[in-house]
Amino acid sequence: MQIDVLSLFPNMFEPLRESMIGKAIERELLNFDVVDYRSYSHDKHHHVDDTPYGGGAGMLLKPEPLFEAMDGVNERHPGPKRVILMDPAGKKFNHQAARELSQEDHLVFICGHYEGYDERIRTLVTDEYSLGDYVLTGGELPAMVMIDAIVRLLPGVLGNDESAHTDSFENGLLEYPQYTRPPEYRGMKVPEVLQNGNHQLIARWRQKESLRRTYLRRPDLLKTITLDQTAQKLLREVKQKKLLRRQKQD
């Protein structure tokens, strides 16, 4: 995969070259380039922003630097690509989007600053994404979050590809609780079922705990997936147990 980032602060992306993403670059699973689009400004002071027509607060990013930066990306890497604009008004990024984008050969992230973008910049873009209903000082942090979520899904990036398939949200549910040694610590014990070696019982426990965690923490997710009969039965058990606990408290 090729990833290009257009940013006014390229040094912010250096930490991405560490850990798993750094290893992906070393293994040539990922090519990662950051372009400072200020270098495409023709202003002697290298300005990339200007006041909005019609008045208003703040400054807008000018179209020329970003258009010419994209021209440079297209010259270096001809061919189709997804161009992603980081914008608070974009659709909310989630695991499904990360999975979809991880199938692409080339992604370009445009990171803005100031009050916003000249509207013509959006003609460069195929997708607009946001991390949530809040505003940050720039698009760099959201882009880094997205890149991390996407790259870890590339085959060969994680030490064990199975890890990506058991993540929270991979099957629409939150991930089940996990434990490692020691079997008991400060009075807290690892569930016996995980230590008995019965893989069928372990799988059932994990599915039930995944349903329980989703039901208690993110019940909205259950409305977006179709559960098989086994999962429906386990979910009924979870709900019944919660109801009984509530009745005891009353």
Shared-domain flag, residues 131 and 33: yes
Q: Is the pLDDT of residue 86 over 90?
A: yes
171-197 pLDDT, tens digit each: 889 999 999 999 999 999 999 999 999
SS (H, E, C) 189-246: ECCHHHHCCCHHHHHHHHHHHHHHHHHHHCHHHHHHCCCCHHHHHHHHHHHHHHHHHH
SS3 166: coil
Q: Is 88 a catalytic residue?
A: yes
Any catalytic annotation for residue 63? no
Nearest residue to 70 via CA among 57, 81, 58, 56: 81
Residue 163 scores a pLDDT above 80: no
116 is in an annotated binding site: no
Long-range contacts of 98-105 (CB under 8 A, 24+ apart): 98/146, 98/149, 98/150, 98/153, 99/153, 99/170, 101/146, 101/150, 102/1, 102/150, 102/151, 102/153, 102/154, 104/1, 105/1, 105/2, 105/79, 105/80, 105/81
Among 100, 133, 151, the domain-final residue is: 151
CB 151: neighbour CB atoms within 10 A?
24
Structurally, the chain folds into a number of domains equal to: 2
Catalytic position from the list 88, 100, 170, 206: 88
Consult the annotation and say whether 158 binds a ligand. Answer: no
Q: What is the pLDDT of residues 197-224, one digit of tens each?
A: 999 999 999 999 999 999 999 999 999 9
Residue 186 designated active-site: no
| 243 annotated binding-site participant | no
Residue 55 among known ligand-binding residues? no
Catalytic residue among 148, 167, 170, 175: 167
Give tens-digit pLDDT for 25-64: 999 999 999 999 999 998 888 999 999 999 988 899 999 9
Domain that holds residue 214: 184-249
Task: List the single range of 82-91, 157-166, 179-188 with lowest mean pLDDT.
Answer: 157-166
Backbone φ and ψ of 136, nearest 5°: -105, 170
Per-residue model confidence as pLDDT tens digits over 95-139: 999 999 999 999 999 999 878 899 999 999 999 999 999 989 999
Categorize the per-residue pLDDT at 242 as very low, low, confident or very high, splitting at 50, 70 and 90.
Answer: confident
What's the confidence (pLDDT) of residue 160? Answer: 67
Answer yes or no: do 119 and 197 share one domain.
Answer: no
> Does residue 106 sit in the same domain as residue 216?
no
Say whether 115 is catalytic.
yes
